[in-house]
Amino acid sequence: MEKKKAYRRLESDTDVKNFMAMYYLNSKNPYLSDEGIKLAWVTSGAPVEYLIAADVIPLYPENYGAIAGAAKDSTRLCIAAENCGYSSDLCSYARTSFGSILSPDPPTPLSEIDGTGGLAKPDMLICGNNICGTVLKWYQDVSRIYDIPMFLFDTPPLRSDYIPPHYRSYVEEQLVEYIQFIEMVTKNTIPPENIDNALHASFKSIELWSEILEKGKISPAPLNCADRFLAMAPIVCQRGSSEIIPLYETLLEEVNTRIDQGLGAITGEEKYRLLWDNIPIWFNIYSFFNTLASRGAVFPVDTYTNAWGGSLKKSAIDYNDHIKTMAQIYSSIYLNQTLQSKIDLIGSLAVDFNCTGVIYHSQRSCKRYSLGQPITKKEVLEKTGIPGILIDGDMTDSRNFSEEQTWTRIEALLEIIDQT
Amino acid sequence: MNQEFSNENILNEAFNNFFPLDNVRNLSNIRKLTLDPVVGYFTNRFPVEFLHALGFHPSRMVSDGTEDHGAKDEYIQTFSCSWLTSIFESHLRDKINYDALVFSTGTCDSLQNMSDIWIKALPDTKAYHFAFPVRTSGNLTNQYFNNELVSISKQICESLEIAYNYDQLPNSVKLFNKKRLLIQKVYEKLIDYQIPYNLLFKLLIIADLTTVEYSIQLFEAFLSDIDKAKYPLREKTSVKIAVIGSMFDNIGLFEKIPILNNSVVVDDLSYGTRNNFFIIEETNNPDDQLDLLVSAYLNKVPDSTIYDMSRRAEHLVNIVNNFKVKGVIMLLQKWCDPEGFEFVELQKKLKNINIPFTVIDVDSSLSNLGQLQTRVEAFIEMVGED
């Protein structure tokens, strides 16, 4: 008899996978250069909408790290980077990226239809330090390796929701420079209507994404962590493109159907509703969440995918002043805020999504995300009564992950939840 | 009093008062030198002249090489900058009473996160968050830096009930310029004289901890000693080494490895040349002086947390050439991400000019000293044989 799967697969997964495969394939189309279309490598917190408006194809080394991680190939690339002088203490996304650029061995393919592997070589780099300080040095090195221009988008970290006037003008003036930079590299002026369209598409897709995430409040939760981590790729990589809107409409439809039919992301009883904090462990993403699913644990919410939706305040959008709007949004990115704001968010998400526990992925590759989690765990418990555990790991370097230690800690959390 | 005796006295007294650095913990040695409120700061990008002009005593945070006793583990994971966690560990244990602390945010992730963690762990701290620009060029960067400096300084003044008035800024700049010029002169002497590097390094740390007036006295005394031939001339065949790194401040590395102590003629360290090889243009108008101060800080040789390392690379090549350096020891502070990236490019620069180098992993408590010693000695011997 066939063993019943603990995990219900999303049909719209296939659409997302196909979309991403075509997007990456298109980025390697040899006709792009003939048509003057430029490629940019972009950090996940950079204002990609202006690139979309300029018909530039944005590519995400962070997403490449995730792909290589999920393919269990990133450790090989990290080692290759270390052999080129990069310390093993550095971010494993960055090492994966350097490994793919510098290693004589073939890089990880981007999809089943990608023959060459690795990201296409960029014409420019766009680096926003609102997600971490590491990207600054990472992109600086890529800029030197490829000898291409880089735009640094510097967003001072916020102390509260309030953005001081001098922060605001600093960021707004950089956005003006950013547009000029893109126009200089592409040798084309960006039509204002393109910017308007990109902003509308961006906010529409963010709105859809937020609505999808909100559905996690329902029990049984229609989506699990791995579903969201896979589905987030288009909104990270093509935010501002109208092409991704149908993908999220379809996903929302499927989520609603599940809700109507009372079907959850996991097939068994939801015994534990857990919140996931931080980037996933890409190299064992499916086995990790499936194993937990078989124990009746579902993750209706996480902080990582929420970063591309939950923080957007509609009141911040002013289509007549895109510079002001984008300065507000990109300054307020989750990782550009205080530890207190993270504690508050995790506490409120855990309560709103009816979670019974929190797993904090303490991962050495992302200091900005991770450092301070012991305090978060303590304060969330004090504030909400919801217990949590820290598991040590890494998003893509499997050498920094202990399976046995991780499961021992998770068992301890489940036991605590059982007793409450 | 005999001048020679006086120099030795003042220098020995300073060394005894401040080292080992645990002596700094209660700040009493600093407070003996000034009645001004003591404001701690973390990075050399902070324009100390401005705080000095406002009537504060800016004092840089140093790690005292304390061993990790785990007090910090309740708050922060092990993979954060070892220099910073060492400072944090000291403060958790001894509650050092600065009147205010200025954290540099917008720099590295460890320091940025620590700025939040610190106030959770030590809630009585009067903490201020200076969001440094990571860009170094353009009018908007100057303007932003200027506004942030003014904004933070006003907050500190208000909190400590000090009138916000920077009329004294031109005088403060003159004093700090004088100090830096003296330090630069000492470095120049290192080329020709066999001056143990640990003495200079100790004075550099004292200079960042204590008052600028006292630092000037110390460096004048040190230079006077050198001029009186207290130190022998360097042998022509002696190997000249440079040490480079980020926030490394553990004097023990030099004191416990004599061959290193006698071979280092220059550094590219945050407490060393990167903090002292620049001079601020002077003017008598306080507002103009503020603009010049900000420009100077944006244009000086940056630490690795800043975008555009070309000035740092240029600085390294310059010091290697000017100080006739034969080999470079790169001190990679454990978990210092910015330096980890920057070292790769700096190594390429050194290869281009045929200068041998070695990368050595260090932490603030020098937990692997035995291994370090073997590697450093082997490297210096190897360079000497070439």
Q: What is the DSSP string of B119-185?
A: HHHSTT--EEEEE--S---SHHHHHHHHHHHHHHHHHHHHHHT-----TTHHHHHHHHHHHHHHHHH
Residue A34: how many CA atoms within 13 Å on its side-chain side? 4
* Minimal Cβ distance to B129: which of A136, A159, A372: A159
Where do the DSSP E strands lie in chain B? 38-41, 57-60, 100-105, 127-131, 241-245, 264-268, 327-333, 357-362
Report the C-alpha gap between B359 and B329 in whole angstroms. 6
Amino acid at position A386, single letter: I
Three-class secondary structure of residue A57 per DSSP: strand
Using CB atoms within 10 A of its CB, is residue B20 exposed (0-12), middle (13-18) or buried (19+)? exposed
In this structure, are residues B50 and B261 in contact, taking their beta carbons and an 8 Å threshold?
no
In this structure, are residues B291 and B146 in contact, taking their beta carbons and an 8 Å threshold?
yes
Please answer yes or no on whether B79 and A367 come within 8 Å at the CB atom: yes
Residue B119: how many CA atoms within 13 Å on its side-chain side? 17
What letter does residue A336 receive in the DSSP assignment?
G
Please answer yes or no on whether A154 and B74 come within 8 Å at the CB atom: no
Please answer yes or no on whether B341 and A90 come within 8 Å at the CB atom: yes
Using CA of residue A75, residue A81, residue A84, residue A88, what is the dihedral sign? negative
Residues in chain A where the model's pLDDT stays below 50 = none
pLDDT-derived band of residue B1, with 50, 70 and 90 as boundaries?
very low
Report the C-alpha gap between B263 and B206 in whole angstroms. 22
Lateral strand order in the sheet of A57-59 = A57-59, A39-42, A124-128, A150-153
Average of pLDDT values for B322-345?
94
In this structure, are residues B247 and B81 in contact, taking their beta carbons and an 8 Å threshold?
yes
- A166: which chain B residues are within 8 Å (Cβ-Cβ)? 143-144, 147-148, 151
pLDDT-derived band of residue B172, with 50, 70 and 90 as boundaries?
very high
- A373 to chain B, any CB pair closer than 8 A? The answer is yes
The 10s digit of each residue's pLDDT in B227-243 is 998 999 999 889 999 99
- B109 to chain A, any CB pair closer than 8 A? The answer is yes
Q: How many CB atoms lie within 10 A of CB A112?
A: 8
Please answer yes or no on whether B343 and A138 come within 8 Å at the CB atom: no
Name the CA radius of gyration of chain B, rounded: 20
pLDDT recorded at residue B138: 77
Burial A171-201 (b: 16+ CB within 10 A, else e): bbbbbebbbebbeebbeeebeeebbebbbbb
Residue A82: how many CA atoms within 13 Å on its side-chain side? 13
Three-class secondary structure of residue A389 per DSSP: strand
- B40 to chain A, any CB pair closer than 8 A? The answer is no
Report residue B249: phi and psi, to 5°.
Answer: -140, 15
In this structure, are residues B312 and B345 in contact, taking their beta carbons and an 8 Å threshold?
no
Q: Where are the alpha helices (DSSP H) in A106-244?
A: 134-146, 165-186, 192-214, 225-231, 233-237
pLDDT recorded at residue A55: 96
Is residue B159 over pLDDT 80? yes
Report the C-alpha gap between A302 and A304 in whole angstroms. 6
Three-class secondary structure of residue A151 per DSSP: strand
Encoding tokens for residue B347? 């190594």
- A138 to chain B, any CB pair closer than 8 A? The answer is yes
- A154 to chain B, any CB pair closer than 8 A? The answer is yes
* Minimal Cβ distance to B80: which of A157, A367, A375: A367
Closest C-alpha among B253, B233, B258, B234 to residue B325: B234
Strand partners, A391: A361
- B358 to chain A, any CB pair closer than 8 A? The answer is no
In this structure, are residues B153 and B54 in contact, taking their beta carbons and an 8 Å threshold?
yes
pLDDT recorded at residue A315: 67
Please answer yes or no on whether A134 and B116 come within 8 Å at the CB atom: no
Lateral strand order in the sheet of B327-333 = B264-268, B241-245, B327-333, B357-362
- A100 to chain B, any CB pair closer than 8 A? The answer is no
Using CA of residue A371, residue A374, residue A379, residue A380, what is the dihedral sign? positive
Please answer yes or no on whether B74 and A87 come within 8 Å at the CB atom: no
Q: How far apart are the first and last CA of chain A?
A: 36
The 10s digit of each residue's pLDDT in B116-141 is 999 999 999 999 999 999 988 778 89
- A174: which chain B residues are within 8 Å (Cβ-Cβ)? 135, 140
Report the C-alpha gap between B269 and B315 in whole angstroms. 11
pLDDT recorded at residue A248: 97
In this structure, are residues A346 and A270 in contact, taking their beta carbons and an 8 Å threshold?
no
Distances in whole angstroms, Cα of residue A174 to Cα of each of A50, B137, B139: 13, 12, 11
pLDDT recorded at residue B106: 81
What ipTM goes with this model?
0.94
* Minimal Cβ distance to A86: which of B73, B112, B340: B340
Closest C-alpha among A400, A361, A395 to residue A377: A361
Report residue A17: phi and psi, to 5°.
Answer: -60, -45
Element (H, E) at A393: strand A388-393
pLDDT recorded at residue A2: 53
Report the C-alpha gap between A107 and A81 in whole angstroms. 12
- B341: which chain A residues are within 8 Å (Cβ-Cβ)? 86, 90, 94, 134, 137-138, 140-141
The 10s digit of each residue's pLDDT in B359-374 is 999 988 888 899 999 9
Amino acid at position A167, single letter: Y
Please answer yes or no on whether B309 and A140 come within 8 Å at the CB atom: yes
Higher model confidence: residue B250 or residue A377? Answer: A377
Helix axes B310-322, B337-352, angle to 10 degrees: 50
pLDDT recorded at residue A19: 95
Element (H, E) at A41: strand A39-42
In this structure, are residues A67 and A398 in contact, taking their beta carbons and an 8 Å threshold?
no
Report the C-alpha gap between A94 and A81 in whole angstroms. 9
**CB < 8 Å from B in window 316-345 of A:** 338-340
Report the C-alpha gap between A244 and A231 in whole angstroms. 11
- B128: which chain A residues are within 8 Å (Cβ-Cβ)? none
What letter does residue A7 receive in the DSSP assignment?
B
What letter does residue B333 receive in the DSSP assignment?
E
Q: What would the DSSP string read from start to end of B57-107?
A: EEEE---------SGGGGTS-TTS-HHHHHHHHHHHHH----SEEEEEESS
In this structure, are residues A204 and A49 in contact, taking their beta carbons and an 8 Å threshold?
no
Strand partners, B245: B331
Three-class secondary structure of residue A266 per DSSP: strand
Where do the DSSP E strands lie in A257-356? 272-277, 297-302
Q: What is the pTM of this model?
A: 0.95
Three-class secondary structure of residue A59 per DSSP: strand
Where do the DSSP E strands lie in B269-326? none
**CB < 8 Å from A in window 56-85 of B:** 73-77, 79-80
pLDDT recorded at residue A311: 56
What letter does residue B232 receive in the DSSP assignment?
P
Tracing tokens 């400096």 back to the chain, one arrives at: B149
Whats the size of chain B, residue-wise? 386
What letter does residue B233 receive in the DSSP assignment?
B
Å from A374 to nearest chain B CA? 5
Element (H, E) at A128: strand A124-128
Q: How many CB atoms lie within 10 A of CB A303?
A: 23
Q: How many CB atoms lie within 10 A of CB B235?
A: 8
Tracing tokens 């700040």 back to the chain, one arrives at: B27
